[in-house]
Amino acid sequence: MKSRDVPLGFLAHPDTGTHPGVVIVHDVWGLAELYREFARRLAQAGFAALAIDLYRREVKITNPGEWMRELSDPAVLKDVQSAIDFLHADPSVGSGRVGVAGFCIGGTYALLAACTCQGLAAGVSFYGILSYQHGLLSSPDLDPAKKPREPLHAIGDLRCPLLGIFGASDEFIPSDDVKELEANLARGAVPSEVRVYPGCGHAFLNETRAQAFRQESAADAWQRMLDWFGRYLR
């Protein structure tokens, strides 16, 4: 496996040959070591993984909910598109397909990217926030220029197969939102799947957070992602 820092973040890929690419979109706290490790694990599984750094300029987050409400969805998706284009042009990918996987707010952007961005063949959203009307991101003061379309409405424009992974006890994502996502996906023609893990809350794949991490469910969810990408990227 080879890895290096690149202008957009951190790239890891197998030593030789060309491989499917995956853009990893981090959670609200940025490109932590966890997401670099996720990139390495994907490389070990035969993918070229770019863990994008959305916060390439110095930032200081004190209130994560407020920070996420102020993020510009169009600006973030432009960065995700740049990461997709980077992988398509990188020798480690060559003419291979590219997918996206995101976690927490990164899961939101993975879903939106699957509905918006060019050049994606598959997406996986891990506990992405689905609604701007209720839950963590709800606010009467949301800027429509920064939040023009919530994920539950965007899903009608889904462009590539999407896997959604959630915890049944997620305090930030109402179960009704997940049910609505399932219903909206069922009305479309693009392959999709939603998996809800009992006994899991938000960020249950985050092994750096002992209270949130659920080892068995995390391992199963990770394998489901690998299977999804194996099906649609290879």
Number of H helices, E strands in the chain: 7, 8
Supply φ then ψ for residue 2, to 5 degrees: -120, 150
Copy the structure tokens of residue 131.
């609604």
153 is catalytic: no
C-alpha distances in Å from residue 87, one per residue of 38, 71, 94, 175: 17, 24, 8, 35
Residue 10: DSSP 8-state: E
Sheet holding 9-13, edge to edge: 2-6, 9-13, 48-52, 21-25, 98-103, 122-126, 162-167, 192-197
User: What's the rounded Cα separation, in Å, for the pair 54 and 28?
Assistant: 9
Q: Let me know if 115 is a catalytic residue.
A: no
Catalytic residue among 27, 104, 115, 200: 104
10: β partners: 5, 51
Q: Beta partners for 197?
A: 167
- Catalytic residue flag (residue 170): yes
**Spatial separation of the C-alpha atoms in residues 59 and 55, rounded to whole Å:** 7
44 Cβ contact partners less than 8 Å away, ≥ 6 residues apart: 1, 14
Q: Which of 27, 73, 90, 170 is catalytic?
A: 170
119's tokens: 């050049």
* Catalytic site positions: 104, 170, 202
